[in-house]
């Protein structure tokens, strides 16, 4: 498993100098499309709690309860370095289904999962479609801040 050994946002951005440009370009796109979703460093969910352990760059933040009865912070959009690509994780649904799947084949993605997509280089992305996705995510979150909570709790 690929691990980013960073403990701050700046250290995360500097972790892989060859992909820093891609992270920076993606950041500019997210800020332009979804300015209300503020960037932050996500430390990963602590061991023993539900959620992904990986560190990532987060945009927007919400809290949701896990099965233990505790609550945890999680990003609305998470950007994570992987060994050979960059992944974008989303916690927003539209009409009860993961929103990212509605954009399948339109983003310039290398691969797509349930509510995530990955790419190798920012220049591979269809920037208009990615921007539209991020704007739609921000709009849904602003109108319904509980949307990602329901998704993360599997409701």
Q: Is residue 121 part of a domain?
A: yes
Which structural domain range is residue 114 located in? 9-152
pLDDT tens digits, 37-86: 999 999 887 666 666 678 999 999 998 876 667 778 899 999 999 999 99
pTM: 0.92
Q: Is residue 122 part of a domain?
A: yes
* Pick from 70, 82, 75: nearest CA to 59: 75
Q: Is residue 128 part of a domain?
A: yes
Q: Is residue 141 part of a domain?
A: yes
CB 90 within 8 A of CB 62: no
Q: Is residue 85 part of a domain?
A: yes
* Pick from 22, 23, 31: nearest CA to 60: 31
CB 51 within 8 A of CB 38: no
Q: Is residue 1 part of a domain?
A: no
pLDDT tens digits, 100-112: 999 999 999 999 9
Residue in this structure with the two tokens 């998704």, named with its chain if needed: 151
Q: How many distinct structural domains can be found in the chain? A: 1
């Amino acid at each position: 498993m690929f691990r980013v050994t960073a403990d701050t946002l700046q250290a995360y951005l500097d972790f892989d100098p060859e992909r820093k440009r891609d992270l920076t370009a993606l950041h500019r796109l997210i800020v332009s499309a979804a300015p209300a979703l503020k960037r932050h460093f996500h430390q990963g969910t602590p061991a023993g709690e539900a959620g992904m352990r990986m560190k990532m760059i987060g945009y927007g933040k919400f809290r949701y309860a896990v099965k233990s009865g505790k609550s945890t912070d999680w990003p609305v959009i998470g950007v994570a370095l992987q060994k050979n690509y960059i992944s974008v994780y989303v916690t927003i649904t539209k009409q009860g289904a993961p929103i990212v799947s509605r954009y399948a084949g339109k983003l310039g993605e290398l691969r797509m999962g349930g509510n995530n997509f990955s790419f190798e280089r920012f220049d591979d992305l269809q920037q208009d479609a990615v921007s539209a996705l991020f704007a739609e995510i921000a709009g849904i979150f602003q109108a319904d801040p509980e949307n990602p909570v329901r998704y993360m709790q599997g409701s």
